[in-house]
Amino acid sequence: MIAELAYQELEPGSLARLFGAGHAAVLVRCPEIVAELWRGLLEDRAEQMPWEAPLVDIARNYHGSGDITASLGDLFYFQPGRHGYIARKMALSREAGEDHATVRPAYFVQGGQHYAPGQALLDRCWAIGWRLMTALAPEGTPPGDFHVVVQRLKYQESAGDFERLGALARNSLGRWGRAGCALDERRWQAAGVLSPRGLSDLYGLLADVPVLGRLLQGINRLLLRRDRSRDIAPGQKLIEGAHFDYRYFSALCGERTQMLTQVFAGGRWIDLPIDRATLAVFPGSMATQAYGMQHVLHRVLHVENPGQAGGDPRTDNVTLLIGSA
Return d(Cα 204, Cα 209) in angstroms, integer.
10
Residues 177, 316: one domain?
A: no
106 CB-side CA count, 13 A: 1
Spatial CB neighbours of 214, under 8 Å, sequence gap ≥ 6: none
Residues 75, 126: one domain?
A: yes
The domain boundary residue, chosen from 177, 194, 227: 227
The domain boundary residue, chosen from 201, 227, 253: 227
Q: Is 309's pLDDT higher than 80?
A: no
The per-residue pLDDT of the chain, averaged, comes to 93
Q: Is 45's pLDDT higher than 90?
A: yes
Please state the rounded mean pLDDT for residues 210-228. 88
Give the rounded percent of residues in the chain with a pLDDT score beyond 90: 69
Residues 112, 181: one domain?
A: no
Residues 190, 270: one domain?
A: no
Question: Residue 168 is part of which domain span?
Answer: 161-227
Residues 151, 166: one domain?
A: no
Residues 203, 278: one domain?
A: no
Domain count of the chain? 2
Q: How confident is the model at residue 197 (pLDDT cuts 50, 70, 90)?
A: confident
The domain boundary residue, chosen from 181, 199, 227: 227
Question: What pLDDT shows up at residue 306?
Answer: 64
Question: What pLDDT shows up at residue 317?
Answer: 94
Whole-model pTM: value is 0.92
Please state the rounded mean pLDDT for residues 84-89. 97
